Amino acid sequence: MLDAEDIVNTPKPDEKAIMTYVSCFYHAFAGAEQAETAANRICKVLAVNQENEKLMEEYEKLASELLEWIRRTIPWLENRVAEQTMRAMQQKLEDFRDYRRVHKPPRVQEKCQLEINFNTLQTKLRLSNRPAFMPSEGKMVSDIANAWKGLEQVEKGYEEWLLTEIRRLERLDHLAEKFKQKCAMHEAWTSGKEDLLSQKDYESASLMEIRALMRKHEAFESDLAAHQDRVEQIAAIAQELNELDYHDAATVNARCQGICDQWDNLGTLTQKRRDSLERVEKLWETIDQLYLEFAKRAAPFNNWMDGAMEDLQDMFIVHSIEEIQSLITAHDQFKATLPEADKERMATLGIHTEILKIAQTYGIKLSGINPYTNLSPQDISNKWDTVKHLVPLRDQMLQEEVARQQANERLRRQFAAQANIIGPWIQTKMEEISHVSVDIAGSLEEQMNSLKQYEQNIINYKSNIDKLEGDHQLSQESLIFDNKHTNYTMEHVRVGWEQLLTTIARTINEVENQILTRDAKGISQEQLNEFRASFNHFDRKRNGMMDPDDFRACLISMGYDLGEVEFARIMTLVDPNNTGVVTFQAFIDFMTRETAETDTAEQVMASFKILASDKNYITVDELRRELPPEQAEYCISRMTRYVGPEAPPGALDYISFSSALYGESDL
């Protein structure tokens, strides 16, 4: 054999040697390939056998496990012992659904895989010229299929049983709940009914109440008849529960029997109560008629007594003896009706006595209330006693009022006697005073003395006014507000007296002013008399005042040529307050202004200018030097400061002051 290095390291290897070398390799490799082929064949056969044996073992194992599972499952599915509650049966159904969803699907796959493995194994055995596989006894595919078929049949029956049983329990639960509900409603309705039917409330009831109880009982009987169907339904449900083998049938039967027994007892009590109500109703009808008669007679008599008590206690207000005598006459007429009223009272109370006698005879318990009236015999007796008590009290009140009215009448006459004297006296004095200023002749001093005399006489009469005031005070304290004996009231007297005092004072003042005017203007008494004559002539109303038309006529008669503007100017002088009348004093002032020489504002300004040394202002020193102290201080306090370029400090404005003296400025 040549080494590879010999060939590589030799520049020119020996071809023969190489060929020999290659030939040797060929023969060596050819023998080795045959051995390998033989080994491969043996391995292949063994691998097939091993695989087939493994498949056989797996089949046997899967078949055994599947058959064992079927064997264990079938008894569970064949168990038909029903549960007593819906919850337990629903749990069984849930377990069956878990079996269907969880436990069975893997077994279905195992069965399918088992069949696939069996078919695959038989195919491989046939292809490898092996004999067919024969499983152990009872583990053939057909055996497994039969077992599976039996499982499914049992499973189907189990499912049908479960659904049937659940429907049965559902029906039982529904019936049981319905039974309980109807029983509860019936028992709630019957609760207290036996006590209600057993009570004897009719023994103390009135006729109206008994009739109401009778109507109520009739309504209850109708309701009782309507509930008969409910009792029959309860019994029918209990019977169906027994037929369906309800697990708690004993309780249902006991409750049903109790309801039936109670129902029979209610029927018996209902009939007994009807009999009792009818019997008592007949007894009460007689009493009711007496109650009605009592009410018919008691109501008008009670109204009469209410009216009598109201009249006897009525607070009357009278203002004369005639009015109180009228009340006394009416009261005497009322007292004359009392004997007849007492007979009516006795007859009314006799009806109630008869009612008590009937109730005592037949053992009827009276409620003490008359259904037709709220009046009781005690009310009638109490009011009658009150009326008898009020009669003498009314007599006393009327007599006291008679005495009071007699005293008031004396006060009226006393006041009227004085007022009828004082009133005309005041009126007379007013007329006399009004004529004094017009008719009295002589000098103004004589008129003044005459008016002073009048004034003193009036003042001396004041005691009569004061005495009348005292009588008026007594009348007011006695609440006397009218007096038919006189037309004069205290207010009229007061007003007249005040007017009298005012008139005499005003008249005296007018004469005093006339004296001042006469002395200031230098008018003679004859001129004043002429002015008075003219004024009185045109004073048509004789009230000491002239209207504007009368004043115009007077001026025209005296020679004045008056236009509307001129007359308006004159009216502003004689009637500065626009009262619409011209007094005698204003007439005198106007006439003296027109006929006498008077000082003017210009004359006063000229006099001040002389004192001021022909200046337009005057100083304080000049005033105090030229005028008396009082007049100087008067001017200083009222003159305003003079404003001008040539004026020294403290200069006063005598021009505006002079204008203000005659009302020609706002100073």
What is the pLDDT, as a whole number, of residue 657?
Answer: 86
pLDDT-derived band at 31 (thresholds 50, 70, 90) equals low
| SS3 (DSSP) at 355 | helix
pLDDT-derived band at 666 (thresholds 50, 70, 90) equals very low
pLDDT-derived band at 7 (thresholds 50, 70, 90) equals low
pLDDT-derived band at 439 (thresholds 50, 70, 90) equals low
pLDDT digits (tens, 9 = 90+) for 557-605: 777 777 788 888 888 888 888 888 888 778 777 777 655 445 567 778 8
β partners of residue 545: 583
Share of the chain above pLDDT 70, in %: 88
User: Quick check: 300 pLDDT over 90?
Assistant: yes
What is the pLDDT, as a whole number, of residue 107?
Answer: 77
- Quote the CA–CA distance of 380 and 69 in Å, as a whole number: 106
In 3D space, the residue among 44, 66, 68 whose CA is nearest the CA of residue 117 turns out to be 66
In 3D space, the residue among 509, 496, 493, 370 whose CA is nearest the CA of residue 437 turns out to be 509
pLDDT-derived band at 2 (thresholds 50, 70, 90) equals low
Give the mean pLDDT of the chain. Answer: 80
Give the C-alpha distances (Å, rounded to integers) separating 515 from 434, 440, 501, 528, 628: 19, 15, 21, 10, 27
10 Å CB burial of residue 555 (0-12, 13-18, 19+) is buried
What is the pLDDT, as a whole number, of residue 575?
Answer: 84
User: Quick check: 502 pLDDT over 50?
Assistant: yes
- Quote the CA–CA distance of 190 and 262 in Å, as a whole number: 9
Give the C-alpha distances (Å, rounded to integers) separating 587 from 26, 503, 583: 191, 19, 6
Given the DSSP bridges, would you call strands 582-583 and 640-641 parallel, antiparallel or unpaired? Answer: unpaired
What is the pLDDT, as a whole number, of residue 11?
Answer: 66
What region, left, alpha or beta, does residue 537 occupy, with left being phi > 0 and alpha being psi -120 to 50 degrees?
A: alpha
Q: Tell me the two tokens of residue 605.
A: 């300004």
Domains of the chain: 58-170 (1.20.58.60), 172-289 (1.20.58.60), 292-410 (1.20.58.60), 412-594 (1.20.58.60), 601-662 (1.10.238.10)
Place of tokens 């009368």: 550
Torsion of CA 644, 649, 654, 660, to 10 degrees: 90
For the chain, how long is the longest CA-to-CA vector? 216
Mean pLDDT of 598-614: 79
pTM: 0.39
Place of tokens 């005040």: 498
Q: Please spell the DSSP secondary structure of 117-138, one letter per residue.
A: HHHHHHHHHHHTTPPPP-PPTT
What is the pLDDT, as a whole number, of residue 384?
Answer: 92
User: Quick check: 82 pLDDT over 70?
Assistant: no
pLDDT digits (tens, 9 = 90+) for 225-269: 888 888 888 888 888 778 777 777 888 888 888 888 888 898 898
Mean pLDDT of 530-555: 79
Neighbours of 425 (CB within 10 A): 15
Give the C-alpha distances (Å, rounded to integers) separating 507 from 317, 336, 460, 502, 510: 48, 70, 18, 8, 5
pLDDT digits (tens, 9 = 90+) for 125-149: 777 777 777 777 777 777 788 878 8
More confident residue, 495 or 105: 495
β partners of residue 653: 640
Angle, helices 338-362 vs 377-439, to 10°: value is 150
- Quote the CA–CA distance of 347 and 356 in Å, as a whole number: 15
Inter-residue contact 422 to 493 (CB < 8 Å): yes
Inter-residue contact 48 to 128 (CB < 8 Å): yes
Neighbours of 324 (CB within 10 A): 21
pLDDT-derived band at 667 (thresholds 50, 70, 90) equals very low
Q: Tell me the two tokens of residue 644.
A: 């001008």
pLDDT digits (tens, 9 = 90+) for 462-494: 888 888 888 888 887 877 778 888 888 888 888
User: Quick check: 46 pLDDT over 80?
Assistant: no
Inter-residue contact 186 to 266 (CB < 8 Å): no
pLDDT digits (tens, 9 = 90+) for 392-438: 988 888 888 888 878 888 888 888 888 888 889 988 888 777 766 55
- Quote the CA–CA distance of 236 and 244 in Å, as a whole number: 12
User: Quick check: 22 pLDDT over 60?
Assistant: yes
What is the pLDDT, as a whole number, of residue 386?
Answer: 92
Name residues whose C-beta falls within 8 Å of residue 113's C-beta, 6 or more positions apart in sequence. 62
Inter-residue contact 558 to 534 (CB < 8 Å): yes
Name residues whose C-beta falls within 8 Å of residue 74's C-beta, 6 or more positions apart in sequence. 150, 151, 154
Q: Tell me the two tokens of residue 43.
A: 């391995």
Q: Residues for the chain: how many in total?
A: 667
β partners of residue 610: none
- Quote the CA–CA distance of 65 and 59 in Å, as a whole number: 10
pLDDT digits (tens, 9 = 90+) for 149-175: 887 787 787 777 767 777 776 777 777
User: Quick check: 195 pLDDT over 80?
Assistant: yes
10 Å CB burial of residue 311 (0-12, 13-18, 19+) is middle
Give the C-alpha distances (Å, rounded to integers) separating 343 from 290, 311, 384: 19, 21, 12
Neighbours of 116 (CB within 10 A): 10
What is the pLDDT, as a whole number, of residue 346?
Answer: 92
10 Å CB burial of residue 513 (0-12, 13-18, 19+) is middle
Of 202-211, 277-286, 393-402, minimum mean pLDDT range:
202-211
User: Quick check: 630 pLDDT over 80?
Assistant: yes
